[in-house]
Amino acid sequence: MADVRQGGCRCGKVRFEVSGEPMLTVACHCTGCQRMSASAFSLSEGYSADAFQVTAGNPVIGGIHGPTRHYHCDYCKSWLYTEPDGIEGFVNVRSTMFDEPRRERPFVNVFVSESLPWARTGAAHSYDKLPAMEEWPRLIGAFAERDRAWSKEEFNP
């Protein structure tokens, strides 16, 4: 059975859980994320929608009310997760909303062109804007392989 991680908003009215490992971790430096998070960037973990579930409460759409849907707690206004436009079946969960956030640095930086000059994460990959759609599968594959131990054959060809 896949590992289950839980999280929720600041006040506790909305709770969620995910199963398994994220497909990717991302720091977004766009000015929209800066304003919505009141920080230099937002941190997220990408999951398939099938791996994500709201277990308590009723999140509402907040932030910009456009085709990309940003979900918040209606009471404390915590930004919990996003369903990006044009990527059906995918959910970006705000990393710091987990009860036990991951401790490793994000794997990908996006919108570095909008970043504050001192905001650096040390991510393995950085992009001035969003990567092209055809680039995402390679990034997801590289993230999945990041901790894989080299076999004897790979280490000594």
pLDDT at 155: 43
Q: State pLDDT tens for residues 23-49.
A: 999 999 999 999 999 999 999 999 999
- Hey, what domains does the chain have and what are their CATH numbers? 4-155 (3.90.1590.10)
* Rounded distance between C-alpha atoms, residue 43 and residue 92, angstroms: 9
- The phi, psi pair for 91, rounded to 5°, reads -130, 130
pLDDT at 127: 97
* Rounded distance between C-alpha atoms, residue 151 and residue 153, angstroms: 5
